[in-house]
Amino acid sequence: MAERITGADFDKKVKNADGLVLLDFYSDSCIPCKQLSPVLGELEEAYAGKAAVYKVNVNYEEALSAEYRVMSAPTLILFQNGEPVDRKSGMQKKEVLTEWLDRYTGG
């Protein structure tokens, strides 16, 4: 299961990361977020060593949500070497996310 991070460890885990980070902005009350969670867990295992997967709760991390203009949950943002490079909003199928990650990891 993807580790939940906060503003306190955001720089260390995301901004200063070498490589690819998939960040899930979610809410505990969001049904699509709950449905996406096991998919993210599978991706975390499948891309171990290629991409890190973390979660940010939009209800507790309002500053991060505002900084990255997250308007709805779930919102997935891909970071490459600390910079946002792509994003997707809403529930996504595993196949779509796999293709998305493969574009950035060399598949």
Parallel, antiparallel or unpaired: strands 51-57 and 75-80: unpaired
**Ranges assigned E (strand) in 1-107:** 3-4, 20-26, 51-57, 75-80, 83-89
Choice among 33, 36, 39, 76 that is catalytic? 33
Q: What is the rounded CA–CA span in Å between residue 24 and residue 41?
A: 11
Please say if 54 is a catalytic residue: no
Choice among 30, 44, 80, 84 that is catalytic? 30
Please say if 33 is a catalytic residue: yes
- For the annotated catalytic residues, the residue numbers are 30, 33
